[in-house]
C-alpha cells in the first residue's frame, strides 16, 4: 500500500497545507537534532507543540491528541538521544559514575509515568515545569560557577528516587529529561559539558521504555491516526527522524567547541523558551 503525508494529516488537507506541514516537520527535525547534540536533550519541548498542531489538522480527537503528540515525541527522541550519546561518548565526556546508578531508577519512573498517562491531566505538571525551568534558567544565566548544592552527587536511595522522578515527569511531558538532569548535575560540581553529555544517556533511558509505554497505554484506543501503535504515530516518527539525525553531529561539535559561558547562556535561553511554551499552554 502506498502511503504519503496525506495519510498522516487526513483527507481534508489541501496541497498547500500539506506542503506547509511537511516543511514544519523537516525544520522541527533539524532543530531537534541540533538541540540533542548541543544540550543533551531529545527536543521534546519543540516536537510536542508542532505535532499537536499537525494532529489537529489531521482531525485527531482532542481527547487523545496530546497523548499521541507526547508518545510520538518520545519515539523521535530515541534515535536522536542515542546518536547524541554516542557522539559525546566518543569524545570521552559522558560520566558513567552518574549514569550507572540511574539505569534502573529512571526506567522505573518511566513505567509509572506510562501507567498514569492515559488518565492524568498534564496541566499541573506543565505549570510546575514552567516554574522550575525558569528557576533553572536563572541559575544558568545569572548564577556563578561556585553555586553548589554540594561537591558530590547524592548516592543511594535519594539518588534513585530522583532518577525515578526525572523518568516519571519526563514521560508525562514527552521529553528526554535532559533539562532536569543537566541542571541537577551542574549544581553538584559537574561541568556543563559533562552534564550535557551524560544527559544524552538519560534521554536514552527515558525514551526507549517511554515509547513502549505509550504504545501500550494507547493500544486499541479509538480515533488514532493512521500507522499508529498505541499513542505513537510511526509516520510522525519517520518524518522527523531523518532531519534530526543529520543535524545531531553538528550540535555535538558545537557543544565541544563553544566556551563554557556561551553554553550556559544558550542553555538558559532554551530553558526560558520551554518555560514560556508550557506557561502559555496553560493560559490559551
Distance between CA atoms of residues 142 and 137, nearest Å = 8
Res 109: pLDDT: 92
Give residue limits of the domains in the chain: 8-283
Helix (H) or strand (E) segment spanning residue 228? strand 228-229
pLDDT tens per residue, range 11-22: 444 556 656 666
Chain center to CA of 249: 17
Q: What is the model's pLDDT at position 37?
A: 75
Phi/psi for 222 (5° steps) reads -75, 150
Residue spans of the chain under pLDDT 50: 1-3, 10-13
Which helix H or strand E contains 200, and what residues bound it? helix 192-217
- Copy the grid coordinates of residue 236: 510522525
pLDDT for the residue numbered 144: 66
User: Looking at residue 125, what is its pLDDT?
Assistant: 63
Q: What is the pTM of this model?
A: 0.74
Helices (H), the chain: 5-9, 15-39, 44-58, 62-90, 96-99, 102-116, 123-142, 156-173, 178-186, 192-217, 234-257, 260-283
pLDDT at 94: 86
Other C-beta atoms closer than 10 Å to the C-beta of 281 total: 17
| pLDDT at residue 2 in the model | 43
CA atoms within 13 A on the CB side of 215: 14
Whether 159 contacts 101, CB under 8 Å: yes
Residue 43 has what pLDDT?
64
Question: d(Cα 200, Cα 36) in Å, to the nearest integer?
Answer: 7
State the Cα torsion 160-178-82-253 to the nearest 10°: -140
**Which residue is listed with cell 523518568?**
167
Return the H-helix or E-strand segment holding 131: helix 123-142
Residues 164 and 109 sit within 8 Å (Cβ to Cβ)? yes
| Strand-strand pairing, 228-229 and 232-233 | antiparallel
What's the residue count for the chain? Answer: 284
CA dihedral 182, 188, 194, 198 (to 10 degrees): -50
C-alpha atoms less than 13 angstroms from C-alpha of 21 in its C-beta half-sphere: 24
How far apart, in whole angstroms, are the C-alpha atoms of residue 230 and residue 224?
8
Maximum alpha-carbon separation in the chain: 60
Find out whether 74 and 136 touch, Cβ atoms under 8 Å.
Answer: no
Distance between CA atoms of 79 and 28, rounded to whole angstroms?
15
Amino acid at each position: 500500500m502506498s502511503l504519503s503525508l496525506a495519510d498522516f494529516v487526513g483527507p481534508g488537507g489541501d496541497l498547500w497545507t500539506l506542503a506547509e506541514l511537511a516543511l514544519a516537520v523537516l525544520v522541527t527535525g533539524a532543530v531537534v537534532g541540533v538541540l540533542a547534540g548541543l544540550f543533551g536533550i531529545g527536543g521534546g519541548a519543540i516536537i510536542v507543540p508542532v505535532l499537536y498542531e499537525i494532529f489537529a489538522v489531521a482531525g485527531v480527537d482532542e481527547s487523545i491528541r496530546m497523548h499521541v503528540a507526547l508518545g510520538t515525541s518520545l519515539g523521535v527522541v530515541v534515535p536522536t538521544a542515542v546518536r547524541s550519546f554516542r557522539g559525546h561518548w566518543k569524545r570521552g565526556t559522558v560520566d558513567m559514575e552518574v549514569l550507572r546508578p540511574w539505569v534502573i531508577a529512571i526506567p522505573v519512573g518511566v513505567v509509572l509515568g506510562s501507567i498514569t498517562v492515559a488518565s492524568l491531566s498534564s496541566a499541573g505538571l506543565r505549570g510546575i515545569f514552567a516554574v522550575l525551568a525558569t528557576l533553572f534558567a536563572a541559575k544558568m544565566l545569572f548564577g556563578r560557577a561556585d553555586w553548589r548544592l554540594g561537591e558530590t552527587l547524592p548516592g543511594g536511595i535519594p539518588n534513585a528516587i530522583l532518577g525515578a522522578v526525572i523518568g516519571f515527569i519526563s514521560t508525562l511531558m514527552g521529553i528526554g529529561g535532559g533539562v532536569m538532569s543537566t541542571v541537577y548535575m551542574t549544581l553538584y560540581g559537574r561541568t556543563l559539558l559533562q552534564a550535557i553529555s551524560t544527559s544524552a544517556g538519560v534521554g536514552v533511558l527515558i525514551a526507549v521504555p517511554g515509547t513502549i509505554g505509550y504504545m501500550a497505554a494507547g493500544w486499541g484506543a479509538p480515533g488514532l491516526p493512521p500507522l499508529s501503535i498505541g499513542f505513537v504515530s510511526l509516520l510522525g516518527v519517520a518524518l522527523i527522524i531523518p532531519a534530526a539525525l543529520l543535524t545531531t553531529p553538528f550540535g555535538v561539535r558545537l557543544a565541544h567547541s563553544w566556551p563554557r559561558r556561551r553554553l550556559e547562556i544558550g542553555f538558559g535561553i532554551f530553558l526560558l523558551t520551554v518555560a514560556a511554551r508550557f506557561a502559555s499552554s496553560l493560559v490559551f
